[in-house]
Structure 1
Amino acid sequence: MSGGTGHHLAIYNFGLHVGPSGDPRIDGFLHREPFNWQAALRSEGFVARSGYQGEPGPESWGLQVFPRFIEGSGFESGPSSLSLWHDLESLMAFTYSGVHADALKNARHWNQKQSWPPLVLWWVKAGSKPDWRDAVMRLEHLADHGPSAFAFTFKTAFDPFGLPASIDRGRVKAISASNLKRQADLLEAVLTLPV
């Protein structure tokens, strides 16, 4: 599926760390985060991402809120991101290869085991930006009702018009290979970082 549909694919993810800010157990995550965003900027199909209020970088897409899964955790915030991509294949290529794949491989060291979906996908009109509140609502909807055109996953995906979608694995592989060339120096640096 191409980005020529007049839509962009939104992704929101949310987790909880194993310790508070300043805890050395999450240093590996914090050291990798800027590399992940640099890798996204160099990846085919990346459109834009929300920043975080009070932090340098892109503007925040509304007031950042968190899903109900944070309740009782003792945390006021959790690692989360909100971004836009051209299509399923470009997002999948970024997510599961290169710099970001290294972060996924090590996430169990930094994040608590989740009882909720780690991410949610949905389509937005090109030129519009989803906000944090909408993202949270969609993650909770996915957790409560399973995948639908309103809130879905890579495993059960939908196209911008609400029809079931299949992912072109060959295209994912080709994009991954192309991205790896553009991320080579970042990946080399990331692989030297402690977990």
Structure 2
Amino acid sequence: MTGAYELAQVNIARMRAPLDSPVMKDFVGGLDEVNAAAEASEGFVWRLVDTEGDNATGLRFYGDEWLIVNMSVWASPEALRAYVYGSDHRPFLQRRREWFEHLAEAVTALWWVPAGTRPTVAEAEARLTILREQGPTPEAFTLKGGFAEPEARAAG
């Protein structure tokens, strides 16, 4: 890896109930801990927060008040994978159906950004739309079907 690029990721979820409901209590109650674990993970670069620096649970995606968004930037797919499937995040992942509806369309997209770039929600919406419409491409892909950094692809 050249280090000229970092890996941006977005994932969305459709809540089963409002954030202040009993259904969502454990999810909301665990956010600070799971986000702190992400920030302490090797390869973590950045995550989306709201204007107060808190979890971005008030931000919406595709204009839908029931969709919440998580965005972050990582040094590599390996770093993101280690966190997502690691012991700090896995229990959250395993309980996702308690809190969120199953969506038939893709809910997670990855793409390369120049190092130091922080993606916007609008950009993330566009990338997820690309993935949904075209499947994995260098512009939007998944952890399962990733693409090398742009410079590595050009050199290959």
Per the normalisation by structure 1, the TM-score is 0.71
Alignment of 1:145-184 (within 5 A): 145-161=134-150, 163=153
Any stretches of 5+ residues in structure 2 without a counterpart? none
Is the aligned partner of 1:78 residue 2:67? yes
Kindly state the Cα deviation for residue 153 of structure 1 after the two structures are TM-superposed. 0.2
Q: Deviations over 1:75-129 (max 9, x none)?
A: x242211110000100000001111111000001000111221210000000111
Larger Rg: 1
Length, aligned pairs only: 150
Contact 2:60 2:68 survives alignment (8 Å): no
Contact 1:67 1:140 survives alignment (8 Å): no
Q: Take 2:89 and 2:113, find their aligned partners in 1: how far apart are those partners? A: 24
Q: Equivalent residue for 2:18?
A: 20
Q: Equivalent residue for 1:56?
A: 53
- Percent identical pairs in the alignment equals 30
Decide which of 119, 122, 125 is 1:133's aligned counterpart: 122
Moved runs in structure 1, 4+ residues, more than 6 A? none
Q: Give the number of the structure whose residues are more often strand, by fraction.
A: 2
The aligned amino acid for 1:66 is F
Contact 1:67 1:139 survives alignment (8 Å): no
Q: Secondary structure at the match of 1:137?
A: helix
Any stretches of 5+ residues in structure 1 without a counterpart? 71-75, 164-195
